[in-house]
Amino acid sequence: MKRREFLKNAALGTAAAGTATAIKAPSVFAKRSYRWRMVTAWPPHFPVLGEGADLLAKWVDQMSGGRLKIHVYGGGELVPPLGIFDAVRHGSAEMGHGAAYYWAGKSPATQFFAAVPFGMNAQQMNAWIYYGNGQKLWDEVYAPFGLQSMPAGNTGVQMGGWFNKEINSAADYKGLKMRIPGLGGKVIAKAGATAILAPGGEIYTDLERGVIDATEWVGPYHDYLMGFYKVAKFYYYPGWHEPGTVLEMFVNKKKFAALPKDLQEIVKTAAARSNVWMLSKFEAVNNSYLKLLISKYHVKLRKFPDSLLKQLKIYSKEVLLDITSKDKMSKKVYDDYSKFQKNAMQWAKVSEIALYNAENL
């Protein structure tokens, strides 16, 4: 009897405890607030790029009614700018804001989620990531690091870069030390240049001191803020190496999974909003700053000759072949990327390209 009673009481107790948990849990979770750290690859409160990270944190705070507060750290404040991937991976920060090609050393396939030379523009990248297989593949590439990433900004078509001399052919790249990240760096290396990956905060000084001879950065507005016109006079276009660079927000997967579902959606929504915000900002202001650079600071605007672009395109194909033949994941990602790009380009010929041509008649 005693044993039976005990079992009955125990069962009731468990049931009662279970009920109590079931009733209490939602209100406990609903009230629980979280404090996260976001480490970024940008100097503190860096215009546009860092601003995008700051805004993302602000929007999450507003949408969540203060339940998720994100403290944004500039590069170097908590960890060095290019140390953010490892910091989030190992959990010393919950999220990061950077660009996927900075992590080529971790996995070459990361680069396809930032920029591919002669690759897709912002609109096409969004289409691939949000509606094609882009996000799925991105998740797959970051999974071994315990990370998950998503678009949180886009620069649009970048400029080709700042040079101290005219660049007329591939031969002019010989011996040139240029700051240029990702696959674009490998392309100019084929032409005999040395590609250097320096974080944003170091480029101006490197260029001024001659540590590098040339640099690319983003586009007229941001390049103006960086002051490159003071140390280099030739400003080349187009940014063949970065046709629509995706900025990313990545999270520690375990920490993200521990958030209630509504906060997860809020984070994703804020990232998507900053993706649109950043691209819009650049698009809105770039041309005024280009005009300012030319008229006030006497910057010499130059277009890369078609013959050079053709050569760089050949080198790009070689670089992509090198990477995809050595790294399985890169092949998997690039196969899908290039298939998507081909399709998008066919559509562009009867949409954007035809429209731009018509508008310029």
Q: How near is the Cβ of 157 to Ca ion at its closest, in Å? A: 11
Nearer of residues 54 and 242 to Ca ion, judged by Cβ = 242
Q: Which neighbouring-strand residues pair with 247?
A: 99, 153
Task: Evaluate the CA torsion angle 42, 162, 190, 304 in order and state its sign.
Answer: positive
The CA-CA-CA angle for residues 333, 334, 336, to 5°, reads 70
By CB under 5 A, the residues from 35 to 94 that bind Ca ion are none
CB of 317 to Ca ion, least distance (A): 21
Nearest approach, Cβ of 216 to Ca ion (angstroms)?
5
Please name which of 319, 327, 321, 270 lies closest in space to residue 141, comparing C-alpha atoms: 327
Beta carbons within 8 Å of 75's beta carbon, 6+ residues apart: 39, 40, 41, 42, 43, 44, 81, 82, 84, 199, 200, 201
The DSSP code for 166 is -
Nearer to Ca ion among residue 75 and residue 132 (C-beta): 75
Closer residue to Ca ion, CB minimum distance, 100 or 270: 100
In whole angstroms, what is the distance from residue 333 CA to residue 318 CA? 17
Site string for Ca ion, 212-251 (x = CB under 5 A): ----x-------------------------x---------
Give whichever of 59 and 221 is closer to Ca ion, judged by the CB atom. 221
Q: Which two tokens stand for residue 223?
A: 């390049």
Residue 226 Cβ vs Ca ion, minimum distance, rounded to whole Å: 11
H/E element, 252 = strand 246-252
Min dist CB 261 to Ca ion, Å, is: 36
3-11, 208-216, 269-277, 310-318 -> range binding Ca ion (CB under 5 A): 208-216
Task: Give min distance, CB of 217 to Ca ion, in A.
Answer: 5
Its sign, for the CA torsion 291, 292, 294, 296, is: positive
Listing from the earlier edge strand, what are the strands of the sheet with 300-303?
Answer: 194-196, 177-179, 214-215, 161-163, 234-237, 300-303
By CB under 5 A, which span of 138-146, 151-159, 204-212, 271-279 interacts with Ca ion? 151-159
User: Closest separation between CB of residue 242 and Ca ion, Å?
Assistant: 5
Nearer to Ca ion, 245 or 311 (CB): 245
Distance of CA 108 to the CA centre of its chain: 15
> Are 117 and 238 a contacting pair, CB within 8 Å?
no
Query: Judging by DSSP bridges, how do beta strands 246-252 and 147-154 pair with one another?
Result: antiparallel
Nearest residue (CB) to Ca ion, 94 versus 216: 216
Of 38 and 203, which has the nearer Cβ to Ca ion? 203
> Distance between CA atoms of 228 and 334, rounded to whole angstroms?
33
Closer of 83 and 160 to Ca ion (Cβ): 160
Helix (H) or strand (E) holding 195: strand 194-196
Interface ranges with Ca ion (CB under 5 A): 158, 216, 242
